[in-house]
Amino acid sequence: MCGIVGIVGVGAVNQRLYDALTVLQHRGQDAAGITTCGEGELYVRKGSGLVRDVFQQHHMLELKGNVGIGHVRYPTAGCDSASEAQPFYVNAPYGICLGHNGNLTNATELAEILIREDRRHLNTTSDSEVLLNVFASELQRVGTARVTPADVFAALTAVYRRCRGGYAVVAMIIGHGILGFRDPNGIRPLVLGERSTARGTEWMLASESVALDALSFRLVRDVTPGEAVFIDEQGRLHTQQCVATPRHTPCIFEYVYFARPDSKIDNISVYRARMRMGDRLADKILRERPRHDIDVVIPVPDTSRTSALQLAQRLSVKYREGFIKNRYIGRTFIMPGQDEREKSVRRKLNAIDLEFRGKTVLLIDDSIVRGTTSAQIIELAREAGAKKVYFASAAPPVRFPNVYGIDMPAASELVASGRTVEEVARLIGADWLVYQDRRERRGKLKVVRGS
């Protein structure tokens, strides 16, 4: 999971790219980068760490130009070294920079073809560099001195034929403009925004609509699956559907966990989606245990709060904030390495004894993936004096790997894989465990579309 942004402005875009990346920081905390273009010159700053740490004032002053792209990274393919901070760059043809959110499932095969047939050199193991070189190779086949929108769309049509996986991409062709495109299944999100000024129209592409809001851009629409958007340096917008038979199968984790609640993705309010998760969980609890003994509902900060509050209201049970979060610790699910995740939970959360002692508590989390966080949180609740600890997941059981840009590659790492709900409850130490029904989730997104 990563965050991407691109802007074609009528003035300098460096500060706005920085601001957009800080708004998208929740999508990746491993590395950050910005590339801008002004008067045909390329300016780059990228490195490991949070946005605020990578960019100092002197770096910002060097990022000149009214066109640029930015990226925040969490590594899902390749390694987590500074050399793989994005955007990536190739000098031929024209000079192209690219930032990518997602994962290519045929990256190894593509890398071999790029080296053997396209005569291209790869410096890293990142699938983002592979994707950049596939696009560059296809654009080079055009062979024209000046790139036209038709050239860009022809190259991207070939990219769609060659690349498999889930991806959303922003790229910049030096001296020409920026482009954005989304995989044929719409797995990863990409939105288009517009801002009218006295000097002309500005355009913005981003992973989430909240980045547009922060910069006072109007959400125009989502980039559709298999669609390409090209915005030239004069601010003219060009779009084309590059896939004959696109489908729309978005990643459920965007709504459950990744996205900020104040975002809209594919015309679906993330906040409303999470409210409905709470409603449906409450309905399931009432079906399974109409005479439940829950004293208090407590969310696991932060993403489960919306669902937990809605669930508590529907059950007519008290809602309390029982965990205090250290906001200077990263999100545990997207922290590289299992050891770091396990160390991180106790550093991040501390229980308030008053809300647990002698009570039957229902803890609500957005999901249970590896079970690492869930088990330690339940242990914290018991140490704080809880009489019983029930646990509810706003997402259905995660039983199979996700190879489209989420760090859960092996089924053996998934606590629900090959296990019953009762077995998972025992493993994480819960007195009772309830999951969202898969069929309820599917229906829920249909209900909230357009809200």
Alpha carbon 311 to chain centroid distance?
Answer: 25
Q: How far apart are CA 423 and CA 121, in angstroms?
A: 49
Parallel/antiparallel/unpaired status of strands 227-232 and 177-182: antiparallel
Tokens 């550093």 belong to which residue?
A: 347
CA dihedral sign of residues 104, 106, 111, 116:
negative
Q: How far apart are CA 348 and CA 64, in angstroms?
A: 38
**Tokens at 168, concatenated:** 């959303």
2 among known catalytic residues: yes
What is the Cα gyration radius of the chain? 23
Q: Which residues touch 336 (CB under 8 Å, ≥6 apart)?
A: 30, 74, 75, 80, 407
H-state helical runs in 85-224: 107-116, 127-140, 149-162, 209-214
Cα dist from 224 to 43, 187, 194, 221, 376, whole Å = 30, 10, 17, 9, 40
Q: How far apart are CA 25 and CA 412, in angstroms?
A: 29
Q: How far apart are CA 426 and CA 36, in angstroms?
A: 52
Q: How far apart are CA 230 and CA 33, in angstroms?
A: 21
Cα dist from 171 to 100, 242, 322, 406, whole Å = 8, 16, 44, 22
Tokens 């104040």 belong to which residue?
A: 262
Q: Write down the catalytic residue from 2, 37, 97, 242.
A: 2
Q: Around Cβ 407, how many Cβ atoms within 10 Å? A: 20
**Tokens at 173, concatenated:** 């062709």
**Tokens at 34, concatenated:** 């910005």
H-state helical runs in 289-388: 305-315, 338-348, 353-356, 372-383
Q: Which residues are catalytic?
A: 2
